[in-house]
Structure formats: structure tokens, C-alpha cells
Amino acid sequence: MPKFKVETPSSHDPKETFKKIKNFLENADDLKKIDSNIVCQFEDSTLKGSAKGKQFKAEISVQETSPHCTVMVEVEIPFLLSPLKGKIQESLERKIKKALA
């Protein structure tokens, strides 16, 4: 399965950033429209989580950087979606930035 990474800086502290990303993923209706079987799991103590659906897997982490933090998302998609990888990555980046605004 092809993989890609999205790294998005956040001006919030790591815990607040993780809370915003967690809320975004748990309440993302547009993701549920694409894949109704999406399941998210989060571990607040390590600021890590995962999302899994029929068409993808994603590992999420918030890492402390100077001066604040960075959201790291590594996504695996099936080979059939490889031609759409750029669009998927662009859309994910845009949605994360919006969630962190």
C-alpha cells in the first residue's frame, strides 16, 4: 500500500493541538461520508492516535517542536487510489490547518 506523510505546524501547545485533531477526526462528517466504517483510537498520554477505514489507515501524532508543535500524519492507501494520492494529501493538509485555526 502506498504511504504518504503530512506534517503541519501548530501554534498551539501540544495537548491543545492533540485535542483539536482528535475532535476533528471524531466529528468529521465528510470522512464518514467517504468511509462509513472509519474507527479512530487515541492515546491522550502519548499524544498519538490512529484512524482506520476500508480504504485507508492513518497514524497520527503530535510532536513538540520549537516553539510549539507539529502534527504528523502517516497515511496508507490502497494501490487503486494511488493516482489520487496528491489530491488526498492536499485535502488532508487543508482540513488539518482548518481544524487547528
Reported as a single tens digit per residue, the pLDDT across 64-98 is 887 889 999 999 999 988 898 898 899 889 989 99
Instruction: Classify 3-100 by CATH class.
Output: alpha beta
Pairing verdict, β 69-76 and 48-52: unpaired
**What pTM was computed for the model?**
0.86
Sheet holding 57-64, edge to edge: 3-10, 69-76, 57-64, 48-52, 39-43
Instruction: Note the pLDDT tens digit of each residue in 19-70.
Output: 999 998 888 777 777 777 889 999 999 999 999 988 889 999 999 887 889 9
